[in-house]
Chains A and B, each alone.
Chain A
Amino acid sequence: METEKKEYKVIGTRPIRHDGVDKVTGRALYGADFQMTGLLHGRVLRSPHAHARIVSIDTSRAEAYPGVKGVVTAKDLPEAEDRVADLGEGAVNLKYLCDNILASDKVLYKGHAVAAVAATSPHIAEEACTLIDVEYEVLPPVLEVRQAMEADAPLLHDTLKTTSMGETADEPSNVASHIQHQLGDPDKGFAEADIIVERDFVTGTVHQGYIEPHNATAHFNQDGQLTIWCSTQGAFTVREQVAEILQYPISKIKVVPMEIGGGFGGKISVYIKPVAAMLAKKTGKPVKVLMNRADVFEGTGPTPASYVRVKMGATKDGKITAAEAYLAFEAGAYPGAPVGPGAMCIFAPYSIENVIIDGYDVVVNKPKTAPYRAPGAPNAAFGSETVVDELAEKLDIDPLEFRLINGAKEGDRRADGPVHPRIGCIETVEAAKAHPHYTAPNGKKHHGRGVASGYWFNIGLESSVTINVNSDGTINLIEGSTDIGGTRASIAMQAAEVLGIPAESVNPSVVDTNSVGYTAVTGGSRTTYATGYAAYEAAQEVKQKMIARAAKLWEVDEANVQFADGEFSSINGKEEQISFRDLCAQLGQTGGPVVGSGTVNPGGAGGAYATHVVDVAVDEETGKVEVLRYTAVQDAGRAIHPSYVEGQIQGGAVQGIGWALNEEYIYNDEGTMTNASFLDYRMPTCLDLPMIDAVIVEVPNPGHPYGVRGVGEVPIVPPMAAIANAIYDAIGIRMTELPMSPDRLLKAMGKI
């Protein structure tokens, strides 16, 4: 591994990120910073009810309020058909998509957008919202997945019928779909087991908690050209979603991605962007719409609460013989819970011959869920990794040794079908086992240590990169991937490696949808992989063109020009040499500017594995869990910029710690979230965390020229189970409900 690394000059180093100075000096421009002459301010009116029929909406008082320039409701949207649109991130029912932007006939969660106002100041817009009269017929809400699945549960959608393996049911239901994956013969597998463990698990609704709320400014030119400046994980998906919702041609929409203050999957779906566009159209003025924190919690997609049941069997010598999972995920108001990814990931760290997995996508009266870092996988892994721990414990086998016995390898088949290419599952377990943390003393009373593994499949999808060569030997790298986690640097470094120039000689720019080729969202841990791949291809094209220029300069055949270490040289006779930099100064004379482009849609994303080790202390009197030490091992394939890989690992682990211990949407009986603020939605602060020790393992991905695997998502998969297992080690109680908050621990310990 180490020797392979030495092939590279730029990859594996830690240059300062290109966007760093702007960010630390406060100069970077975010969506809320955007200003424009004549700008109006928009505000969204949201439903106070979790479930209600809209009887009428009267906007006349709001429209008459001084300073109000326009009000929109669902009536201002084009008639949405019940049809399915493919928006790059999977198929979406257009009626559902539109109704989530502005409710037409029913509101399906507290915070559901109902109307919006544009006014000359944000305060006037806010005030005017209180003057919109909405008459509701309040309906009973259903707020929990198992209740929503019951036959007599209140129905959210009269037309929603369960689809199950190609069949659609006759009667309406809150269960949108049922999926099943089967491998081998589970009954036979369980019959062969010497020990079987089966448990139920419940996880809460949690939010990505990005610091920057959603924002959008829209402007319609007189010629019908719509421009949207916004915070997003994908300018092109905003363009597509807005085009579908407004039934407006994509050629007339330009989306300008501003700097982004966090997304974690939550800034892929659109909410206020089409609303800003509708208000801009109605008023003829640019309109800026900002969310506040309560809007973000109540009106944007969290990741689902879930009910998970896992059963696994193993032989006395520790071989897993069969595994079964039942996954019921809350989709929120409209179908689309990530139960599919949960099913893909749940048993992926193991080589198991007999598996059966059932998954259910269920609507409830909560915000429509959105992706969040490895969506679905953490819910599933909380169950499976706890059961694995219990199997190992009952068999008296070290939990990491148990994972080595059963670890997934190249050639093994996942229950949902795909066969693993070269993966680094075993390697992460070995590294965790060899880490000093795992053998450090930990015998204090009420202290415990836990481990868990996790998997995320990662994705490829489309990316485009253009490279313009500058006369001073630098390059401008144009990309369409919003930079959430240091990808300007990690993409620039791959181009720099090809061209033999320093990372600092690359000027990366994330540009609007008119200025670069189609690029899918920053999501699925794909950006350093796929956009990096496109940058590699673009740089290869630049290299070939530069070779042609050197050949022209020296009047030799292109085949006689070599490029190595940033130097072009001629072979076969003529002794010529020129650096990349010097050749850049001669582009004018040798045929004009050099531009390279790369476009990809690579299939070999290569799955990522992680194994985490955590020490906790439990306060037996208060139920509070303190995380004392945390080591997160992960296969990065190839760490392009190790600091940002470590940053991703640490960030994922920390979000997992929050999910494990305190984060959850707390609802009252009416379906109102009672903790819609960062005060009471308790994400961990730096004072709640130890240093997260990130350990990078490198098992190169054969599907990428430099071996890159996506790193952003898998680190959130193991923490919940790792902490639950550590709590068990500390106090001998298996916690099966998330979050493992102090009151739940007190209950489990029988103190209250």
Chain B
Amino acid sequence: MQDFSYVSAQTVPEAVALLDEKGEKARILAGGTDLIVQVREARRDVDLMIDVKSIPEVNVLNYDANAGLTLGAAVECYKIYAVDAICDAYPGLVDATKIIGGTAIQGRAGVGGNLCNASPAADCIPPLIVLNATCVIAGPNGERELPVEQFCTAPGQTALEKGEMLVSMKIPAPASNSSSFYLRFIPRNEMDIAVVGAGASVTLDDAKQTIVSARIGLAAVAPTPLFAEEASALLAGREVSDAAIDEAAQAAQAIARPISDMRGTAEQRTHLVGVLTRRALNGAIQRVRDTA
């Protein structure tokens, strides 16, 4: 491991200026559960770590039933699932925050870091996709917003330009009769990276029989987490049925382009996309129906 510098930035402009100056050799440090390991294992060469945990904007955790959720990029997982209203509104996101690492990791790691690490297998990203999250990005030229499904561009690569950092994520308030669900397949019961991850959000009609709209997000089956747009669209207006869900699952399978690696084979992953999409959709539907 090489020596590196550390700065605790106090404001977004300060962090942005440092990022702009150092370029690729500077990295944002929030929980550090990916970054520190990468540096220690010589998988990432860093000259400067910019700790953003003291910046107020990246620590915002604000839920409003009308305005939705503002989730600062450095907010740790455990803080998210500690808020009952957030658990009720975005159960799919909470599913992910509860399975990232163990309890100790969840005390450090956050959704923002999971997103910026841009792993194809990141558990938080499919839920963010299905919940229509928007990324708030600060840079030398001010702030911009980007839909979360456009944030990751390749394994470990994001849409962040030189000098840009993720400040927060905004998630709209959930529609009535809606819910979300995330699950992953791992060979063990914990402490594994997703072989495949699938998230789903659904909005049902008042009778809870017909799907008004749905969104499906997938992890670990392509270079980036995917929004299964076609699969999502074909559920709109359909009555809840095994046939409809199977069709969506097949459409999701069609966009998967997985690789074979030590975590699973391509055939296994494609097969699992079907299984997990069905389970995620059924899970989300069940949650809507379980809510009075």
Report which A residues bind B (CB closer than 8 A).
Answer: 123, 126-127, 621-624, 661-662, 666, 674-675, 679-680, 682, 684-685, 687-688, 741-743, 746, 751-752
- On chain A, the residues within 8 Å of B1 by CB distance are 123, 126
Q: Is the CB of A685 within 8 A of B187?
A: no
Does A743 lie within 8 Å of B189, measured CB to CB? no
Q: Which residue of B lies closest to A294 (CB)?
A: B41
| B263 proximal to A (CB < 8 A) | yes
Give the distance in Å from the alpha carbon of A680 to the alpha carbon of B267 in the complex: 19
B-side contacts of A684, CB under 8 Å? 188
B184, chain A: closest CB distance, angstroms: 11
Contact B267 A662 (CB under 8 A): no
Q: Is B193 an interface residue (CB 8 A)?
A: yes
Any chain A CB within 8 A of the CB of B136? Answer: no
- Is B272 close to A, CB under 8 A? yes
Residues in chain B near residue A661, CB distance under 8 A: 187
Closest CB of chain A to B120's CB: distance in Å? 15
What would 16 A/B residue contacts be, using CB atoms closer than 8 Å? A126-B1, A127-B2, A622-B275, A623-B268, A624-B185, A661-B187, A662-B187, A675-B262, A682-B187, A685-B190, A688-B189, A688-B190, A742-B195, A743-B268, A751-B271, A752-B270
Give B191's nearest chain A residue, CB to CB.
A685
**Binary contact track B169-194/A, C-beta < 8 Å → 1, others 0:** 00000000000000001011111110
B255-292 to A contact mask, C-beta < 8 Å, 1/0: 00000011111011011100100000000000000000
**What is the minimal beta-carbon distance from A621 to any residue of chain B, in angstroms?**
5
Which residues on the A side are within 8 Å of B185 (C-beta)? Answer: 622, 624, 742
Secondary structure call for the B interface = loop
Residues of A contacting B187 with CB < 8 Å?
Answer: 624, 661-662, 682, 741-742
B residues neighboring A (CB under 8 Å): 1-3, 42, 185, 187-193, 195, 261-265, 267-268, 270-272, 275
Which among B189, B190, B264, B268 has the greatest number of chain A C-beta atoms within 10 A? B268
Q: Contact at A746–B271, with CB atoms within 8 Å? A: yes
Specify which of B42, B262, B275 is in contact with A674 (CB 8 Å cutoff): B262
User: Whose C-beta in chain A lies nearest to the C-beta of B268?
Assistant: A743
Are A752 and B261 in contact, CB atoms less than 8 angstroms apart?
A: no
> With A666-B262, A680-B262 known to touch, is A752 a contact of B268 (CB < 8 Å)?
yes
Asked if A742 contacts B268 (CB within 8 A), the reply is yes
Cα of A123 to Cα of B40 in the assembled complex, Å: 10
| Residue of B with least CB distance to A683 | B188
Tell me, in angstroms, the Cα distance from A705 to B2 when the chains sit together: 59
CA distance A402 to B195 in the complex (A): 41
Q: What is the bound-complex CA distance between A661 and B185, given in angstroms?
A: 15
Q: Which residues of A contact B193 (CB under 8 A)?
A: 679-680
Contact of A682 among B3, B42, B192, B261 (CB under 8 A): B192
Partner of B189 from the list A623, A666, A675, A687 (CB cut-off 8 Å) is A687
**In the bound complex, what is the Cα–Cα distance between A622 and B270 (angstroms)?**
11
Closest 10 A/B residue pairs (Cβ): A675-B262, A752-B267, A674-B262, A743-B268, A687-B189, A666-B262, A687-B190, A621-B275, A752-B271, A662-B187
CA distance A7 to B189 in the complex (A): 46
Contacts of A127 in B (CB 8 A): 2
**B195 proximity list for chain A (CB < 8 A):** 742
Nearest residue, chain A, Cβ from B196: A622
Residues in A with CB closer than 8 Å to B267 are 743, 746, 752
B265 touches A743 (CB 8 A): yes
**How close is B136's CB to chain A, nearest CB, in angstroms?**
31
Complex contacts, A123 vs chain B, CB 8 Å: 1-3
Give the distance in Å from the alpha carbon of A127 to the alpha carbon of B268 in the complex.
Answer: 40
Q: Considering the complex, give the chain B residue whose CB is closest to the CB of A658.
A: B188
* Nearest opposing residue in chain A for B261, CB measure: A674
Cα-based distance from A688 to B187 in the complex (angstroms): 10
- The interface residues of chain B lying within 8 Å CB-to-CB of A752 are 265, 267-268, 270-271
Apart from A624-B185, A743-B264, what 5 extra A-B contacts exist at CB < 8 Å? A126-B1, A126-B42, A674-B262, A682-B188, A752-B265
Minimal beta-carbon separation of A620 from chain B (angstroms): 10
Q: Is the CB of B188 within 8 A of A688?
A: yes
Contacts of B275 in A (CB 8 A): 621-622
Q: Are A687 and B188 in contact (CB under 8 A)?
A: yes
A662 CA / B264 CA spacing, docked (Å): 11
CB distance from A120 to the nearest CB of B (A): 14
**In angstroms, how far is the closest chain A Cβ from the Cβ of B186?**
9
Residue pair A679, B272 in contact (C-beta under 8 Å): no
> A675: which B residues are within 8 A, CB to CB?
262
Closest to B271 in A: A752
Contact A679 B191 (CB under 8 A): yes
Q: Which B residues lie within 8 Å of A674 (CB)?
A: 261-262
Q: Give complex CA distance A680, B186 in Å.
A: 11
Report B138 CB to chain A, min CB distance, Å.
Answer: 33
A680-B263 in contact (CB<8A): yes
B102 to chain A, nearest CB (A): 9
Contact of A685 among B42, B188, B264 (CB under 8 A): B188
**B270: nearest residue on chain A (CB-CB)?**
A752
Q: How far is the CA of A107 from the CA of B190 in the complex (A)?
A: 37
**Nearest-CB residue, chain B, relative to A675:** B262
CB distance from A693 to the nearest CB of B (A): 20
Rounded to whole angstroms, the CA-CA distance of A93 and B192 in the bound complex is 41
Closest to B265 in A: A743
A123-B1, A127-B2, A662-B187 in contact; A679/B265 too (CB < 8 A)?
no
Q: Are A679 and B192 in contact (CB under 8 A)?
A: yes
Chain A residues lying within 8 Å of B3, measured Cβ to Cβ, are 123
Given the complex of chains A and B, what is the CA–CA distance between A633 and B59 in angstroms?
Answer: 54
The CA of A741 and the CA of B192, in the complex, are separated in Å by: 14
Residue ID in chain B nearest A677 by CB atoms:
B41
> B268 is contacted by which of A682, A687, A746 (Cβ under 8 Å)?
A746
**How many angstroms between the C-alpha atoms of A684 and B3 in the bound complex?**
36
Which chain B residue shows the least CB distance to A684? Answer: B188
Q: Nearest Cβ in chain A — how far from B11, in angstroms?
A: 32
- CB neighbours (8 Å) of A741 from chain B are 187
Contact check, A662 vs B188: say whether CB atoms are below 8 A apart.
yes
Question: Smallest distance from the beta carbon of A557 to chain B beta carbons, Å?
Answer: 68
Give the residues in chain A near B271, CB-CB below 8 Å.
Answer: 746, 751-752
Q: How far, in angstroms, from A20 to B265 measured CA to CA in the complex?
A: 44
Contacts of A751 in B (CB 8 A): 271
